[in-house]
Amino acid sequence: MPLFQNATFHISAHKLSELPPPSGIEVAFAGRSNAGKSSALNTLANHNRLAFVSKQPGRTQLINFFSLGNDRFLVDLPGYGYAKVPEAMRKHWQLTLATYLSQRPCIGGLVLVMDCRHPLTPLDRQMLDWYSPSGKPIHVLLTKSDKLSRQAANQTLQQVRKELEANWGNCSVQLFSSLKKQGVEEAEAAIGRWLFAPEDEVPDTVA
Ligand code: GDP
């Protein structure tokens, strides 16, 4: 059974003051608008519309929490880098993202979603610069891998891995396709490690 199949919508926050009090462990999903973040969340949760797959990139300006039970959460952050967003809104969201990521104690790790055809954009690098010093793990999903040949996708994977190793610590990376449901188990394993300690797997019924 997929690890995140029981994910349910929990709460939306428009601003930092609306965030639920920190508790348990949450994994944040960030990425450039249109990179495929909502689709990846839906695929991992085995849901069609858990995270709204946006027709208007950049418009989903909310921090959405999805509960996995047991005080574990997946957090969908607003996509960044959408050109048509007014400057004031862009600034507001950059500050909100930076503050959320730097001050939220219960973040277990960051999933950074990138379109495998355009990985490591300047804003992706900025995000890595911000977050890597926290020492918390970062897992990069190179999405839409079905859009590249197997060889080109693997080349991209190696290149991105090399750059991550050279410039930022504590990063892992993989190929992912929501369309073809590829890379789901690998992503579950990487993210699941941050959320569920081995003792969580002991069934409740054991006396
Ligand atoms: P978000 O803005 O990062 O949340 O991106 P979305 O999940 O809304 O996806 C943006 C566009 O990319 C949509 O048209 C999706 O159908 C498409 N898309 C997302 N993931 C994939 C994928 O794995 N393969 C392909 N071919 N298209 C995808």
Amino acid at 190: A
- Residue 74 backbone phi and psi in degrees, to 5: -105, 135
Which sign, positive or negative, has the C-alpha torsion 135, 33, 48, 15? positive
Distinct helix (H) and strand (E) counts, the chain:
5, 7
Q: Is the pLDDT of residue 5 over 80?
A: yes
C-alpha of residue 125 to centroid of ligand 1, in Å:
21
Q: Grade residue 206 by pLDDT with cuts at 50, 70 and 90.
A: very low
C-alpha of residue 34 to centroid of ligand 1, in Å:
6
Q: Which pairing describes strands 72-76 and 25-31: parallel, antiparallel, or unpaired?
A: parallel
Atom 18 of ligand 1: nearest residue by CA position: 36
Atom number of ligand 1 nearest to Cα 177: 23
Q: Is the CB of 38 under 6 A from ligand 1?
A: yes
d(CA 6, CA 44): 10
Query: Which residues share a beta bridge with 73?
Result: 26, 67
Q: Which of 196, 198, 143 is nearest to 3 (CA)?
A: 196
Q: Grade residue 203 by pLDDT with cuts at 50, 70 and 90.
A: very low
Average pLDDT, integer, range 47-68: 68
Q: Quick check: 124 and 141 in contact, CB under 8 A? A: no
- Residue 141 backbone phi and psi in degrees, to 5: -100, 115
Choose one of 29, 38, 41, 53 to mutate for the ligand 1 pocket test, by most ligand atoms within 8 angstroms of C-beta: 53
Q: Is the CB of 36 under 6 A from ligand 1?
A: yes
Q: Is the pLDDT of residue 202 over 60?
A: no
d(CA 165, CA 167): 6
C-alpha of residue 177 to centroid of ligand 1, in Å:
9
Two structure tokens written together for 196: 């569920």
Q: Is the CB of 35 under 6 A from ligand 1?
A: yes
What three-state secondary structure class fits 91? helix
Atom number of ligand 1 nearest to Cα 147: 26
Residue 4 has a pLDDT of 85
